[in-house]
Amino acid sequence: MSQVHVDTIYDKAGTGRPDFPAGLTASGPVSVGGTLTYQDVTNIDAVGLVTARTGVRITAGGLVVTAGVTTFSGADINIDGTAVGVTSVTWDASADSLIFKDKSYLKFGDSSDLSIYHDGSHSFITDGGTGSLKIGSDGLSIQIADYSETMAVFTPNAAVDLYYNDTKRLHTDGAGSY
């Protein structure tokens, strides 16, 4: 096995870095104990830190993160679904919103028992697991989408009011209903 050990390599003039216009080939592992600068590389295997000019694409094997991930500099984050080129979920940084496209489900539970989704025409909350779907509140008001009309009001330890066209039509109290 041949080995080459050098402290410094200079260009022909002895004033700067050398240029290898025909490339440089190594038939075995190469170790660099300082900073390695490279350009126009299509494939690279690296262990450690990488600073990339135009992003990093992880293909075969995926990406495993063993520590926290922080800061995306306020940029949007897209999560692609099964259809090629289709973003199913987007973190819209400018709107501070997690946006799910039609037919993209938000699921909860070990068996995905609870799901929330929109199919393009209707919105659904589905509880398909054991137990009941419970809604807890210290006062519940159901209104139309723009909040301009009330449909029902549930007051803890008190009345339930049902409305028709924003007019109370049915009311319960401690003695019954009217």
pLDDT at 59 over 90: no
Output the pTM of the full model. Answer: 0.56
**Residue range 92-100: average pLDDT?**
89
Q: What's CA 16's distance to the chain center, in Å? A: 46
The radius of gyration of the chain's CA atoms, rounded to the nearest angstrom, is 31
Give 136-170 pLDDT, tens digit per residue: 999 999 999 999 999 999 999 999 999 999 999 99
- Give the length of the chain: 178
Beta carbons of 115 and 131 less than 8 angstroms apart: no
pLDDT at 71 over 60: no
Q: CA nearest 150: which of 170, 129, 132?
A: 170
Which of the pair, 50 or 21, is modelled with greater confidence? 21
Beta carbons of 153 and 160 less than 8 angstroms apart: yes
**Residue range 108-126: average pLDDT?**
93
- List phi, psi (to 5°) of 34: -135, -130
